[in-house]
Amino acid sequence: MNIAQLLTPDATYCNAAAVSKKRVLEFVSSFLARHASCIDADALYQALLERERLGSTGIGEGIAIPHCRLPGCDRITGVLLKLEQPVDFDAVDNVPVDLVFALVVPDEQNDEHLQTLAAIAALLEDPEVRSQLRRCGSDEDLYRRAVASA
């Protein structure tokens, strides 16, 4: 799935306040539950925590891509956050995370899950894209720059 198909203006949040990895995951869970009727915030939070127990989704360079498959979810859903302050995410390079692209995928869409993760990682591995996203000052700006870069 193309990032431009996944991301919407309502699914971007600039300067999200969070003080820890768990608070980021709580924020993502409640945010996505408000924007997708098929998502239960508590079930999503538990699924994201379980995924983090397998290994951090902090991929380095201040980026995290928390993701999971969720029973009952009827479509791939994502959110892009720029955090107000970087947080420790147990990333592979030990750099605190300030850009988070969270992804929730229906249980049966394994191939789509992997393809979408790969597209997100490819987008965010570009240093210029990361720099542009970090300079954003509004939700709208964050959305426009992310989609334009995809």
Q: Which residues are catalytic?
A: 67
- Rounded Cα–Cα distance for residues 26 and 116 (Å): 22
Give the chain's largest Cα–Cα span.
Answer: 37
| Helix segments in 36-137, DSSP class H | 41-54, 110-124, 127-134
Tokens 């539950």 correspond to 33
Q: 69-81 burial string, b = 16+ CB within 10 Å, else e?
A: bbeebeebbbbbb
**Residue 104: in which H helix or E strand, if any?**
strand 97-106
Say if CB 70 and CB 47 are below 8 A apart: yes
Pairing of strands 67-70, 12-16: unpaired
